[in-house]
Amino acid sequence: MAPVVPAAGLGPLADDPVGTAAHIVQTALTPIFLLNGIGTLLALFNTRQARVRDHMARLTELLEGDVQPDEEALLRWHMRRLANRVLALDLSIVLGACGGAATCGSVFILFLGDVRGADVARWLIILFGAALGCTIGSLLAFLADSVLAWHAFRQNGSVPLSTRASRTPSV
């Protein structure tokens, strides 16, 4: 039986290419589950932001119309609250996207480390830690949006629109 001669430049893949490749794929799947969750969160954040922006457009139309001074103050308060919600959702989306990018980076580092046989533990910890940190920050920013939404609902019992607004077609 002829001895197995490692192929040049393949690092650990030279000894058992199938087993090593299977291990690489198994190891890379763990961060992919995180990436899937982040993608789902980003879809939720974008949908929620679109609804808030639609609501802002509706309030802008109402403010451009003929409004009583007390109604106008209430609508402007609501508009400021919605602007804060958009800011929180923007932060959620940015942090979620950064978390997704860091997750992809950690998968890349896993592949690179396994294929080249390089010590990438430090980079892996940094990137995966950044992914988790960004995801936590994204969820906290989303919590801020939720608190703003709940606060207005508890304070007013509903959307603070005038009786004229109820005659306006819904967006």
Q: Which of 87, 115, 99 is nearest to 42 (CA)?
A: 99
Tens of pLDDT along the chain (171 residues)? 444 444 444 455 556 777 777 777 777 677 888 899 999 999 999 999 999 999 999 999 998 888 888 888 888 999 999 999 999 999 999 999 999 999 999 888 888 887 777 788 899 899 999 999 999 999 999 999 999 998 877 776 555 444 444 444 443
Cα gap 116→9, rounded to integer Å: 8
* 8 A C-beta contact, residue 52 and residue 89: yes
This prediction has a pTM of: 0.73
Q: Which domains does the chain have, with CATH numbers?
A: 37-160 (1.20.140)
